[in-house]
Structure 1
């Protein structure tokens, strides 16, 4: 989260800087106490060094060690540093944080931060040890030393967590996350209704039934996942191919083997089907779909990392109406199309998960997104750095970097249903839901 602060005339005689705060986990009360504590320290540090905090940027419960974790507050801080101006608070000439590892714990983020901070002259970096000159060799070396310490600490912590999970799995204990579908809260006892659904789905799949048919049956019965989500083909596939269904233990995408018997280790929970049935149902899927070959920590037999194929995947939501008149709101999936050269792929609301009544050209969506991010007249609600626009439009920005830019600006994009028979591209169908609505509102008022 990011919040702008009005400073009145207090910044007239002080260096205007941004305060950044981040925690990896929130408190049990979910009260964001940790980041508030950091901002309070940053305010005090700024006063002690003739600076004033004019804008705050916050990433509460955001991990900075893993490369697949988004930090919207950090991304907006960098964008504002490149621009040299906070939307509603005026010029920025530096940053204050309680420690370097709040800002970066990976080399990539260190490089991004230093590039943004030094994109203009006379910037400062401030922590509890005082002011640091980011333009000098000594300032860079000090930052690199902090980075090395953060990387080493992160590796040790990750190794301890991996060892802890492995040890639990070797003891036959269930994982500590949300309860798996098919079992009670103790993760040991079968849930009568859910376990029967899983058993029938496995038997039906072995018999030739499609996963889509299973999804439709579960949806018609009003079945929801343990987190309340509606059934999907991916979720059902993962449930019925999990080694847990036959009692086997797995860790990080591999079955655990007893070194004495060379047989798979069995957990303490009740099994739903036999090992033979589990192997049969797994054989009906390609390797990349299996429970054992999915997830960020699991190896894949396909030797490729699964991920979104299309730029706006995960951002577009259906704006069609359900039968009861409510807005659908489901994520729209990307799918190839051979019927149009100008639209070789589309974003479609999937039947079963959503209303199934809305589809839109993929290139149309992405052209609309580019127009929203970089309007031709330069008068859009969000003003991104000019170098970012040039890299995007020249084709110098990679797929993942573009997705990070989109994620830092939009909460999602709602797709309105099209008009039957209309041939031209209707960009108004793509309705942005902006992040940082408070900042955008303040900017439009100013």
Structure 2
């Protein structure tokens, strides 16, 4: 006995149970003893079905039929067995070679021993295949119509941040997404977000503890997260050329999505790699402007950052641990002082990119040239040199667009909302490496290292600080550092109170709220 249903959204296999009940009644009428039941639930059997979902029970049944274990197969209908003509040919071969016959509840029996019987069976199989295609066409049209109205597509697997209804937010996941997108805009990587979520015990929608790069990226920057209705992975547009917005609340704005993706692409263009160097890609040689790279030594205290651009010798070398501690401390002091003084960054307004029309015209021109080539109006010699030039221009415009939205979002109007996360990351000994790196990159554009002075006092802390020049991200409002008296009045110091930042923050929140 074989039973199958294509779509079981509730996962209760009720359709399969009904087929089994009807097939048992058929077996009683035929006087058969059912020796086994083969059940495939929530799996299609047409050419349109996913090849990744294999009907394991069906394959097992065919294999065991060749051993002579049983001589009859019962199903509710031909279409429950298969909607593929080529698979019905396999069933005909099964009869020819092993005399296994097919019986159905509603499609009747077909005498596969005769040419006419086989022809009828194959004709019905062809109509079953056609009906599967018609159903698919109707579903696609209905789904597209709903999509154009902004209605969400309900999938078997919910989207991260949303309940199963594809509309309602899951507050804890929404908070994770929004925080992660801000971190990405501030310079964090997808890999750092993945590690952070795993360390926090955040589960995927499948309930897995391990996250891959793609699931994290999709959770943060899918069109659905930004409130846009998409189809086959691309945003839908209405008759006026406007994006179709979904009738659910977006988790992030389109500007935040553009800025986050732009930052990731910027990291990719610069060749930023994940590593265990806290200041990776931020350091510049004060002599040649080249990058400084980490050089691991044993013991670890001897590790350095160095510039290898010199012709005869390294330009610059500096203690990695000493430099990292100094930069982290400078960022920490700035964040705390800015919060204590109540200083906010200037407001940035999200202005649309002014050359969007120019980029759209380039897309249209490239499409026109390709259409003319496809129609045989223009030759390859004429078309492709023009397209190459237009694509170069388009690539430059896209980069300018990305940089525009990145500038709009890189420094939010009020960074106080993230100051707690960043100061905690810089001050706590148990903070994640990725959090500490993200905190520094949220404020620092680059750090230039000058050549060390020679002579007495060259190794002093003052001399070391003179070698370091931090280039801050803009806007960067100047604030007066906290004085010793400020710290004394708070009766807190970083040295004797590990919970300093928590108590310091509690003093500020009443005012800033």
TM-score of the superposition, structure 1-length normalised?
0.51
Q: Alignment partner for residue 232 of structure 2, among 245, 252, 263?
A: 252
Alignment of 1:405-420 (within 5 A): none
1:207 Cα offset (Å): 4.7
1:77 Cα offset (Å): 0.7
Q: Which residue of the partner structure matches residue 125 of structure 1?
A: 102
Residues 1:45 and 2:26 aligned together: yes
Q: Which residue of the partner structure matches residue 11 of structure 1?
A: none
Q: Which residue of the partner structure matches residue 362 of structure 1?
A: none
Alignment of 1:272-351 (within 5 A): 272-282=251-261, 284=264
Q: Deviations over 1:157-188 (max 9, x none)?
A: 21222223222221122222355323467654
Alpha-carbon distance in 1 for matches of 2:18, 2:169: 44
Q: Which residue of the partner structure matches residue 5 of structure 2?
A: 23
Q: Alignment partner for residue 39 of structure 2, among 50, 58, 62?
A: 58
Q: Alignment partner for residue 116 of structure 2, among 138, 144, 155?
A: 138
Aligned-partner SS, 1:244: coil
1:229 Cα offset (Å): 3.1
User: For structure 1, which runs of at least 5 residues remain unmatched after alignment?
Assistant: 1-18, 86-91, 287-446
Residues 1:171 and 2:149 aligned together: yes
Residues 1:93 and 2:71 aligned together: yes
Distance change in 2, residues 1:240/1:70 (3 Å): same
Q: Which residue of the partner structure matches residue 16 of structure 2?
A: 35
User: For structure 2, which runs of at least 5 residues remain unmatched after alignment?
Assistant: 269-513
Distance change in 2, residues 1:82/1:200 (3 Å): same
Does the CA-based 8 Å contact 1:59-1:74 persist in structure 2? yes
Alignment of 1:156-305 (within 5 A): 156-177=134-155, 179-183=158-162, 187-188=166-167, 190-230=169-209, 231-260=211-240, 262-282=241-261, 284=264
Does the CA-based 8 Å contact 1:23-1:34 persist in structure 2? yes
Aligned-partner SS, 1:63: coil
Q: Which residue of the partner structure matches residue 61 of structure 2?
A: 77
Alpha-carbon distance in 1 for matches of 2:32, 2:133: 35
Alpha-carbon distance in 2 for matches of 1:235, 1:27: 22
1:108 Cα offset (Å): 3.6
Alpha-carbon distance in 2 for matches of 1:48, 1:250: 51
Q: Which residue of the partner structure matches residue 83 of structure 2?
A: 105
Q: Deviations over 1:398-417 (max 9, x none)?
A: xxxxxxxxxxxxxxxxxxxx
Q: Deviations over 1:346-392 (max 9, x none)?
A: xxxxxxxxxxxxxxxxxxxxxxxxxxxxxxxxxxxxxxxxxxxxxxx
Q: Deviations over 1:54-74 (max 9, x none)?
A: 332222333223142321211
Aligned-partner SS, 1:58: strand
Q: Which residue of the partner structure matches residue 373 of structure 1?
A: none
Q: Which residue of the partner structure matches residue 151 of structure 1?
A: 129
Does the CA-based 8 Å contact 2:40-2:57 persist in structure 1? yes
Does the CA-based 8 Å contact 2:94-2:100 persist in structure 1? no
Alpha-carbon distance in 2 for matches of 1:157, 1:239: 31
Q: What is the RMSD computed on CA atoms of the aligned residues? A: 2.9
Alpha-carbon distance in 2 for matches of 1:29, 1:189: 21
Alpha-carbon distance in 2 for matches of 1:184, 1:95: 41
Distance change in 2, residues 1:271/1:139 (3 Å): same
Alpha-carbon distance in 1 for matches of 2:163, 2:75: 44
Does the CA-based 8 Å contact 1:58-1:73 persist in structure 2? yes
Alpha-carbon distance in 2 for matches of 1:190, 1:41: 42
Alpha-carbon distance in 2 for matches of 1:131, 1:215: 56
Alignment of 1:7-18 (within 5 A): none
Aligned-partner SS, 1:70: coil
1:78 Cα offset (Å): 0.7
1:257 Cα offset (Å): 0.8
Distance change in 2, residues 1:42/1:210 (3 Å): same
1:243 Cα offset (Å): 0.9
Alpha-carbon distance in 2 for matches of 1:50, 1:105: 28
Alpha-carbon distance in 1 for matches of 2:223, 2:8: 32
1:195 Cα offset (Å): 2.4
1:118 Cα offset (Å): 3.0
1:228 Cα offset (Å): 3.0
More helix by share: 2
Aligned-partner SS, 2:35: strand
Q: Which residue of the partner structure matches residue 397 of structure 2?
A: none
1:265 Cα offset (Å): 1.7
Alpha-carbon distance in 1 for matches of 2:162, 2:221: 15
